[in-house]
A and B are shown apart, each in its own frame.
Chain A
Amino acid sequence: MSRIWTAFIFGIIVTLAMNALDMLYHVVTDTAVHLNYVAVKFTIIFATVFLIALVIGRGKTPGIVTSVLGPVAFYFYYSVASPTLDRSMFTIDEAVWYVVVHVIALAIAYLLAQSFVVKQKGGRLPFAILVSLAALPLYWGWLMALVKLGGGLDEDTTKVMTMGAAFLSLAILFVLIYGATWFCKKGHFPGFAAGLVFGIISVITGATVLDAFVRIFVIGIPYVLAHQLKGAA
């Protein structure tokens, strides 16, 4: 596996997991999660993780640099992005304190990916936790996108997840992913199998076929990417 590809998927997985932790923090503290805001944050954090993994490498020192630099870069963007942000809506991260929250979230995601999945410490459990966290923003983003596609406003998208729904979704994702690794240890296939079960559950509970189809990839894609990171060097 080339170093560029490894850094790329490492960046995707770490950024998704970081965003999951951040989104959970938002719903726990009853602050809204906007689709545009998440997209911008994802882009900036991903660029930081990817470029540092590629140019400096991975490990303790690059992890610390990444965890600090990414949120600081995002904060600078956030502070000067008035022309592209509706300031009546996007007021959440104006406090410097949120940089600390993002640093902690990114450090946890980086540590989980690098120390437990890449270096394969701890077996299936940290792997399932990382993939569940990585799948959550995809699932959450998909639900928000459905609202937007249906003609909803930005404010409507913030209502797709409550704190209870977010943690319940994470728990379901974790059970499916951990179960898949338990029953079928090899290859990438278990991720899509877990995704299919997720899709079937959603159809039974009233989702459309398209919605169910997308959910296969909500779990399948992060599972496959994280699986490639196992022992990746």
Chain B
Amino acid sequence: MKAIIPILAILSLLLVACGQTAPVEEKSGETLGTADQVVTINSFKFSPAEVTVRTGQTVVWKNQDSASHTIAIDGTESPELFNGDTWSHTFDTAGTFDYLCGIHPSMKGTVVVE
């Protein structure tokens, strides 16, 4: 009987500690905005490969492929996008932004910001 007391004490401490754990990690990535241009990913290709937007506008990438992809653009990289996932990026400066898939660097595209 005496052996049960420390066991119960440990279990009580564990339950108390449960309430003090860190929050569940959430999927990182930029907040989805209104899409001004949508680029779909299919068969290891970006379609269309080149899109044009104005400054302040947002491009949304939608993965419709059976493999995961990322978008490496403008010094940032999206989280790994699985089938059905989307990721968006807003362009605040004019210019031509070449991007690629971080997993498959042969997949390339361009965003022209006017």
Q: Which residue of the partner chain B has the closest CB to A192?
A: B14
- With both chains docked as a complex, state the minimum distance between the C-beta of A96 and any C-beta of chain B, in angstroms: 28
Docked complex Cα distance between A62 and B44 (Å) = 12
Chain A residues, Cβ within 8 Å of B17: 189, 193
Flag whether A126 is at the interface (Cβ < 8 A). Answer: no
Q: Which residues of chain A have C-beta atoms less than 8 A from B83's C-beta?
A: 59-60
Contact A57 B27 (CB under 8 A): no
Q: Does A183 contact B (CB under 8 A)?
A: yes
Which of A59, A200, A230, A233 sits near B24, CB closer than 8 Å? A230
Asked whether any CB of chain B lies closer than 8 Å to the CB of A158, the reply is: no
Q: Quick check: is A58 within 8 A (CB to CB) of the other chain? A: yes
Residue from B15, B19, B27, B66 in contact with A233 in the complex, judged by beta carbons closer than 8 Å: B27
Interface check A56, CB cutoff 8 A? yes
B25 near A119: Cβ-Cβ < 8 Å? no
A205–B15 Cα distance when bound, in Å, is 24
Q: Are B66 and A184 in contact (CB under 8 A)?
A: no
Residue in A6, A119, A193 whose Cβ sees the most chain B Cβ within 10 Å:
A193
Q: Which A residues are in CB contact (< 8 Å) with B65?
A: 59, 61
Chain B residues, Cβ within 8 Å of A233? 27-29, 68, 79-82, 85
A55 lies within 8 A of chain B by Cβ: yes
Task: Establish whether residues A58 and B18, one from each chain, have CB atoms under 8 Å apart when the complex forms.
Answer: no
Q: Mark A38-80, 1 if CB is under 8 A from B, else 0.
A: 0000000000000000111111111000000000000000000
A-B contact count (CB 8 A): 86
Q: A229 to chain B: closest CB distance in Å?
A: 10
Partner of A193, one of B14, B24, B103: B14
A187 is an interface residue with CB less than 8 A from chain B: yes
Is the Cβ of A184 less than 8 Å from the Cβ of B23?
no
Rounded to whole angstroms, the CA-CA distance of A190 and B14 in the bound complex is 8
A152 at the interface (CB under 8 A from B): no
> Which residues of chain A are within 8 angstroms of B21 by Cβ–Cβ distance?
184, 186-189
- Min distance, Cβ A93 to any Cβ of chain B, angstroms: 30
Is B67 interfacial (CB-CB < 8 Å)?
yes
Chain A residues within 8 Å of B11, by CB = 197
Q: Which residues does chain A contribute within 8 Å of B68, judged by CB atoms?
A: 57-59, 62, 233
Within 8 Å of chain B (Cβ to Cβ): is A196?
yes
Q: Which residues of B contact A55 (CB under 8 A)?
A: 103
Residues from chain A with a CB closer than 8 A to the CB of B81 are 233
Q: With both chains docked as a complex, state the minimum distance between the C-beta of B114 and any C-beta of chain A, in angstroms.
A: 31
Partner of A59, one of B28, B70, B82: B82
Known interface pairs A59-B65, A59-B82, A61-B67; A231-B26 also in contact (CB < 8 Å): yes
* Partner among B10, B19, B66 whose Cβ is within 8 Å of the Cβ of A61: B66
Is A162's CB within 8 Å of the partner chain B?
A: no
Given contacts A58-B68, A58-B80, A196-B10, 4 further A-B contacts (CB under 8 A): A57-B80, A57-B104, A197-B11, A233-B28
